[in-house]
Structure 1
Amino acid sequence: MNKRISLERRTLCRHVLFTIMATLLSGAMMNTCIAGKPTLASLHNHYQTTVKAEPMIQMPLPVPPPRLFEAVQYDSDAMSLAAFVTPDPADEKKHPAIVWLTGGESNTLADFWRKGAKSNDQTASPYRDAGVVMMFPTLRGGNDNAGHIEVNYGEVNDVIAAAQYLATLSYVDSNRIYLGGHSTGGTLALLVSEVASSTHPNLFKEVISFGATQETMFLQDVNFDKGDKQREVELRAPTRWIQDIKVPTWIIEGKSLSSNYRDLKPMCHKNPMLHCAFIPNHDHFSVLYPINRHIAQQIMADQPISINVDDKTTAF
């Protein structure tokens, strides 16, 4: 960490502490410094990114079968963004729900509803098969959306806004909303957990991150001529903000040599709210279907997520 970032953190921490003293008088506790350093949420409130990336894939919004998903609009940072949600089952019940973040360029959606093979099902289909309401949001700059891709920065606000919209639906149980994501979407899910733990602590019941990385990928293709590259990278690196997590959060990855689990292991055991499960005999993709099916059953039973990893006896 360079001296500039260190000085900015100390200055910001003093500012936040003075803010806390003022807000305590009115009974409102805002984002605070943890163990002498600011939270990722407080830094988000004080830093405007210079990153404005172009989409890797420019495509119109997909058109899924209406029996599976309907198109909706949600608002984030004064932008109207597109999302797709499970239709109302019309059974007069409140259902658990999950916001799912796809891998690759997570801002843009393609044919997200087409199930893959069980060895590589990136559509998270076990949730909809089990009866969990699903929401697939597009994010700023993706598909036909306004704004620019910020590579896991402003997108954190978009995901939180999408979940807030989901909570307003009459057939969704607002106390049982989950967040899940895979690969780059898994990395974004961790960043959302770190920010939302401070700003919206009751929004997500649990967060599920498959195959994330310690830092955000694709930043090597971003032009940082107008900004501070080290600071931009730091504010997108989940590993630096693990202590901010206050919502039960899972890091899950296959344990094959080609997966990310070695990169993820150092992040474990740093926060009791963070749980890690590295699944034997599975890779970055094959881990998705069996574990999502396992979690979906627990969500429908309104049980805490639990994954028992045993190299000899556990078979998913």
Structure 2
Amino acid sequence: MKKYRGEGFPLNRRSFLIGSAAAALAPAAARAFEVPETPRLLHRDYARVRKGFRTRLLQKGPAPDKYESLDPPEGAQRLFYRSGYGGELELTAWVSKYKRGPKRMPAVLFLHGGNALGHGHWRDMKTYVEAGFIVMMPSMRGENGQKGNFSGFYDEVDDVLSAAERLRHLPGVDRDRLFLAGHSVGGTLAMLGAMCSQNFKACAPMSGNPDAFRFFQRYPEDIRFDDDNPHEFEVRSALCYAQSFKCPVRITHGSEEVHFQDRSDLLVTRAKAGGVKIESAIVKGGHTSALPEEIAQSIRFFKA
């Protein structure tokens, strides 16, 4: 089994550079797919689109990141949830340890950065726990040696929704106060997940990339799908379905992540035009250094 060296956030390119896809910042792409200057806005509901579309994977295999054991970190316990067609995938999630009291507790489904679940991802979850939330952090298909094929922001959305159902039905969870958040790759998945379900009270994506065209221009080696079909990129792009959000949204990114600004602004403009309650903010710092404050702001947003 592949391991990380040391502790903390996984030291891979996605954890630090995800979204740095502007052509001026990126190396020459190995693939020749066309990156539109402005991805089109599609007015169909994203959840319905997913029911009629199945991604065509040209390469099947595990997620690309190195990984560590799925043994739970301090303060968490391991549980399993089922996802995939017919629930054929049994995947691991970590859930904060809590005591069930007379009142049900709000819960946060937090989606980790990168394409592997690591103990470093769990450290900032203490902030949610101290604020009175139950926290669940799921792994995705193909991650950490588990079954399933990595698809890059598509089939993983099914895992997000399945994990949310598992969290909703945990003893002591207030189903009316279920929140969705995520960082980096998890921030992108949080956007897409919030377009698929009415079960989330609010969503807080952090340093997620709403434009899959740009993301995969930066990381063409992660493309497993048919990149001759532009719609494969569109169904991975929150920007293309910005009016499909089904809960209030607050998107954030670090002040050093200037490459996110134009796409975040466009996402907000498109979503507001469709009646979505959405706001955005820039938090001082970089891709990982801004995260603690982004989490703190998400807590205030959820409690509001």
TM over 0.5: yes
Q: How many residues align?
A: 252
Residues 43, 243 of structure 2: 8 Å contact kept: no
Q: Structure 1 residues 269 and 165 mapped into 2: Cα distance closer, same or farther (>3 Å)?
A: same
Among 65, 83, 102, the alignment partner of 2:93 is 83
In structure 2, give the amino acid aligned to 1:71. R
Q: Structure 1: which amino acid aligns with 2:255?
A: K
Is 1:102 matched up with 2:112? yes
Distance 1:238 1:261 in 2: 15
Cα separation, partners in 2 of 1:58 and 1:286, compared to 1, 3 Å: closer
* Deviation per residue, 1:220-274 (Å, 9 max, x gap): 2245685743121111011000011121111112233656233311211222324
1:54 to 62, 70, 74: 62
Alignment correspondent of 2:154: 153
Tell me what 1:245 maps to: 245
Paired residue secondary structure (1:260): helix
Cα shift at 1:69: 0.9
Amino acid at match of 1:47: F
Supply the AA of the counterpart residue of 1:287: A
How far is 1:280 from its partner?
Answer: 5.5
Q: What secondary structure is seen at the aligned counterpart in 2 of 1:266?
A: helix
Partner of residue 78 from structure 2, selected from 62, 71, 74: 71
Q: Which amino acid aligns with 1:276?
A: E
2:235 is matched with which residue?
Answer: 235
3-state secondary structure, aligned to 1:63 = coil
The Cα of 1:55 is off from its aligned counterpart by 2.0
Aligned amino acid, residue 291 of structure 2: L
- Deviation for aligned residue 1:287: 2.7
TM-score with structure 1 setting the length: 0.72
Aligned to 2:30: none
Give the CA deviation at 1:37. Answer: 4.3
Distance in 1 separating the partners of 2:126 and 2:261 = 23
What's the % identity of the aligned pairs?
25
Name the CA distance, whole Å, in 2 between partners of 1:223 and 1:114: 27
Give 1:191's aligned residue: 192
Q: Cα gap change, 1:186/1:65 in structure 2, threshold over 3 Å: closer, same or farther?
A: closer
- Cα distance in 2 for residues equivalent to 1:297 and 1:214: 23
Secondary structure of 1:136's aligned partner: strand
Structure 1: gaps (5+ residues): 1-34, 116-122, 305-316
Native 8 Å contact 1:124 1:289 kept in 2: no
Deviation at 1:71, TM superposition (A): 0.7
Counterpart contact for 2:42–2:241, Cα < 8 Å: no
Q: Distance in 1 between matches of 2:117 and 2:224?
A: 26
User: Where does structure 2 lack aligned partners over 5 or more consecutive residues?
Assistant: 1-40
Determine the C-alpha separation between the residues in 2 that align with 1:145 and 1:176.
Answer: 30
* Per-residue deviation, residues 127-165 of structure 1 (Å, max 9, x unmatched): 122221110101111113221111111111110110111
Distance between the aligned counterparts of 2:191 and 2:177, measured in 1? 18
The Cα shift of 1:43 comes to: 1.9
Residues 1:42 and 1:112: Cα distance change in structure 2 (over 3 Å): same
Q: Secondary structure at the match of 1:268?
A: helix
Q: Using the alignment, how far apart are the partners of 1:224 and 1:59 within structure 2?
A: 19
- Identify which range, 145-154 or 83-92, moves more after superposition: 83-92
Q: What is the TM-score when the length of structure 2 is the normalising length?
A: 0.74
RMSD: 2.5
**Change beyond 3 A, Cα 1:175–1:164:** same
Offset from partner CA, 1:16-70 (integer Å, 9 cap, x none): xxxxxxxxxxxxxxxxxxx99432222211222122353223535422345x111
Q: Does 1:286 align with 2:303?
A: no
Taking the aligned partners of 1:156 and 1:134, their CA distance within structure 2 comes to 18
Change (3 A) 1:282 1:113: closer
Q: Which of 29, 39, 56 is matched with 2:45 structurally?
A: 39
Q: Which residue of 2 aligns with 1:256?
A: 256
Larger Rg: 1
Letter in 2 for 1:102: H
Q: Is the counterpart of residue 269 in structure 1 residue 279 in structure 2?
A: no
Deviations 1:179-229 (A, max 9, x none): 001111111111111122xxxx1x110010111223233462245685743
**2:153–2:236 Cα contact (<8 Å) kept:** yes
